[in-house]
Amino acid sequence: MVFYKFFHLSKSEKRIFFEAGYKTLLVRIVTTLYNTRKYASWLGQQHVETDTIEPTIQVREEILQVKKAMSRCRYLVWARKCLVEAIAAKRMLDRRNIPATLYMGVAKDKNGKMIAHAWLRSGNIWITGGRNRHGFTVVGIFS
């Protein structure tokens, strides 16, 4: 069923899906091999948030294309981590000169164990992880 849907995508949708797949693979390799301090400069300017205003129609369309491509990446084994998704989507938006803010947060689960989450916002649009951001204390912001 998934392959059937893929072959019915437009060329531009396939192109951005492959870009998302490549970026998530690259980010997964980097985040696996290195600690956060090594790739923090790759994330953008620390402690700075972008505006939460409504983007123009053209920019909004590009943001939504990246969001859709990232949601399609859930079928890729290496892309199933919130941090990988958030960083890859941010890099895709950076390439398009679209400002975005990456958030990193921590919380405790039901058993008292520390858990982490990452999510990405551009303008007033939550691109990755935004639905699950509630209950997390933000410990890092990059734009």
Backbone dihedral region for residue 112 (phi beyond 0: left; psi -120 to 50: alpha; all else: beta): left
pLDDT of residue 131: 83
108 - beta bridge partners? 114
b/e 35-65 (16+ beta carbons within 10 angstroms → b): eeeeeeeebbeeeeebeeeebeeebbebbeb
pLDDT of residue 4: 60
pTM: 0.89
Q: Kindly report, residue by residue over 36-90, the tens digit of the pLDDT.
A: 888 888 788 999 999 988 999 999 999 999 999 999 888 788 778 999 999 999 9
